[in-house]
């Protein structure tokens, strides 16, 4: 094992850097820019049972230290991902990939996970519980510990692959949701997803986003994400993947000190397509600067 290696749910990664879902497509797009096998792995675009066109435009709004998006889970549907995207990915990426799954009912989550469970290229299922529950009045699955646990248990019943529950930060107590997922059988947790936010156009006096609200990502949310990773890592025994505003090797190390086993890079990939590669290449020198021999030794060092 090298000094950057970490293990996530029994699968060894060459390094802890993982481009986050929604910021890296299905991988082959970025493979035109650099060899994406340098990555630990990546989480592909959120995939639903049926194709989704997504929300009306405008879907993107700027913020002082980040961006808002309300893309609306645009994707070709799980059948097209299996038939078209995974074969294309297999030509350029030779490691297990993280499959991000979204759904609007427990049944949809389980159906998509069951289909992806049969795919050899998929190493982990990252289950996004920030979606609105169509049978529960629109409340996000991830805002209610009982609902989050129900999705976790249902998904675990149809797959043998590690299940990583991706948690929403738009809650009063993220630890209670994390513990509920752990108790229901989750193999790991990833957090945080975007923070609900909005912008208003002063000229039109109307919300900029057609959806009115969207998810805030980017540097502005890093301290919030770090705090939540720290709280959850202290409260659970399963691995935690840190996400939120990460854009440097220093911040990867900070997340790992807070308890993250691996770290996802999101909005930074949208402003600089080479961001994840640059972070990986900068890690050894940054580790030397802070007297770190092997990354796996610092996980949870600040707890």
pLDDT tens for each residue of the chain, 303 residues long: 699 999 999 999 999 999 999 999 999 999 999 999 999 999 999 999 999 998 999 999 999 999 999 999 999 999 999 999 999 999 999 999 999 999 999 999 999 999 999 999 999 999 999 876 556 555 688 999 999 999 999 999 999 999 999 999 999 999 999 999 999 999 999 999 999 999 999 999 999 999 999 999 999 999 999 999 999 999 999 999 999 999 999 999 999 999 999 999 999 999 999 999 999 999 999 999 999 999 999 999 999
The pLDDT value given to residue 34: 97
Query: How far apart (Å, rounded) are the C-alpha atoms in residues 9 and 16?
Result: 13
In a domain? residue 158: yes
Structural domain containing residue 147: 6-298
| Residue (of 121, 212, 106, 82) closest to 156 by Cα position | 106
Look up the CATH number of the domain holding residue 228.
Answer: 3.20.20.70
In a domain? residue 238: yes
In a domain? residue 1: no
In a domain? residue 144: yes
In a domain? residue 198: yes
Number of domains in the chain: 1
Q: Is the pTM of this model over 0.85?
A: yes
Tokens describing residue 301: 């060092």
CB of 199 closer than 8 Å to CB of 209: yes
The pLDDT value given to residue 134: 53
In a domain? residue 281: yes
| Residue (of 68, 98, 95, 82) closest to 190 by Cα position | 98
Q: Which residues are catalytic?
A: 131
Query: How far apart (Å, rounded) are the C-alpha atoms in residues 161 and 113?
Result: 9
| Residue (of 197, 255, 263) closest to 20 by Cα position | 263
Query: How far apart (Å, rounded) are the C-alpha atoms in residues 100 and 160?
Result: 16
Tokens describing residue 263: 């770290």
In a domain? residue 141: yes
In a domain? residue 303: no
CB of 140 closer than 8 Å to CB of 111: no
Radius of gyration of the chain (CA): 18
């Amino acid at each position: 094992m090298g000094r950057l290696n970490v293990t996530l749910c029994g699968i060894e990664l060459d390094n802890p850097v993982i481009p986050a879902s929604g910021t890296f497509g299905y991988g082959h797009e970025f493979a035109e820019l650099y060899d994406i096998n340098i990555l630990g792995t990546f989480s592909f675009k959120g995939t639903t049972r049926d194709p989704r066109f997504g929300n009306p435009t405008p879907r993107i709004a700027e913020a002082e230290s980040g961006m808002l998006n309300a893309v609306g889970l645009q994707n070709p549907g799980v059948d097209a991902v299996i038939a078209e995207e995974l074969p294309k990915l297999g030509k350029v990426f030779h490691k297990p990939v993280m499959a991000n799954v979204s759904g609007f009912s427990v049944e949809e989550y389980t159906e998509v996970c069951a289909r992806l469970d049969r795919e050899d290229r998929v190493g982990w299922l990252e289950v996004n519980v920030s979606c609105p529950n169509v049978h529960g009045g629109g409340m996000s699955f991830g805002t209610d510990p009982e609902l989050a646990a129900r999705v976790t248990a249902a998904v675990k019943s149809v797959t043998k692959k590690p299940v990583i529950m991706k948690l929403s930060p738009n809650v009063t107590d993220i630890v209670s949701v994390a513990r509920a997922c752990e108790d229901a059988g989750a193999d790991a947790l990833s957090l945080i997803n975007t923070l609900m936010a909005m912008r208003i156009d002063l000229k039109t006096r109307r919300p900029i986003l057609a959806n009115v609200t969207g998810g805030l990502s980017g540097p502005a949310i890093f301290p919030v994400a770090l705090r939540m990773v720290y709280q959850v890592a202290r409260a659970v025994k399963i691995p935690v993947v840190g996400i939120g505003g990460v854009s440097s090797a220093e911040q990867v190390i900070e997340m790992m000190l807070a308890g993250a086993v691996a770290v996802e890079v999101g909005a930074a990939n949208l402003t600089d397509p080479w961001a994840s590669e640059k972070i990986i290449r900068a890690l050894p020198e940054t580790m030397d600067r802070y007297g770190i021999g092997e990354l796996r030794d610092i996980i949870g060092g600040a707890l």
